[in-house]
Structure 1
Amino acid sequence: MIKKLHDIGLRSEHAYTAAVASIGLSVLTWAASLRAEPGRGLDRADRWGIFVGEWAPTFFGLGLALSHYEQEEGSLMGKAHADGARKRDVVGA
């Protein structure tokens, strides 16, 4: 799944940005719910804030998984590049 997300263009930076944005969005939804529905009370506003706030750990986890995948891919690319250079040296010698 992480490979597919990476292949469609999602990077770890995107997931980290979404996590930080969801923290801010959590506060905004809490305040908006508190203001828009004063009769419903603090409980409903808290539920909205918590609901959106639970997205942040998911996005951070996804960012970590993508970061790990990107590091693995980079090390494999470096290895392939080094192997190719060695083959050119052997053929050229």
Structure 2
Amino acid sequence: MIKKLHDVGLRSEHAYTAAVASIGLSVLTWAASLRAEPGAGLDRADRWGIYVGEWAPTFFGLGLALSHYEQEEGSLMGKAHTDGERRQQMTGTA
């Protein structure tokens, strides 16, 4: 699944940005719910804030998984580049 997300263009920076944004959005939804629905009370506002706040750990987890995948992919690409240079040196082509 992480490979598919990476293949469609999602990078770890995107997931980290979404995580930080969801923390801010959590506070905003809490405040908006508190003001927009004063009859519903603090409990309802708290539930909205907690609901959106639960997205942050998911996005941070995706960011970590994507970061790990990107590092592995980078090390494999570096290895392939080094192997290609070795082959060129061994065959005398450059």
TM-score, normalized by length of structure 1?
A: 0.99
Task: Work out the percentage of aligned pairs sharing the same amino acid.
Answer: 88
Residue ranges of structure 1 left out of the alignment (5+ in a row): none
Instruction: Provide Cα deviations, 1:57-91, integer angstroms capped at 9, x if missing partner.
Output: 00000000000000000000000000000000011
Match for residue 42 of structure 1? 42
Match for residue 87 of structure 1? 87
TM-score, normalized by length of structure 2?
A: 0.98
Match for residue 19 of structure 1? 19
Instruction: Provide Cα deviations, 1:36-59, integer angstroms capped at 9, x if missing partner.
Output: 000000000000000000000000
One-letter amino acid of the counterpart of residue 47, structure 1: R
Q: Deviation of residue 14 (structure 1)?
A: 0.2
Residue ranges of structure 2 left out of the alignment (5+ in a row): none
| Counterpart check, 1:78 vs 2:85 | no
Match for residue 53 of structure 1? 53
Corresponding pairs, count: 93
Q: Deviation of residue 20 (structure 1)?
A: 0.1
Distance in 2, matches of 1:25 and 1:32, equals: 10
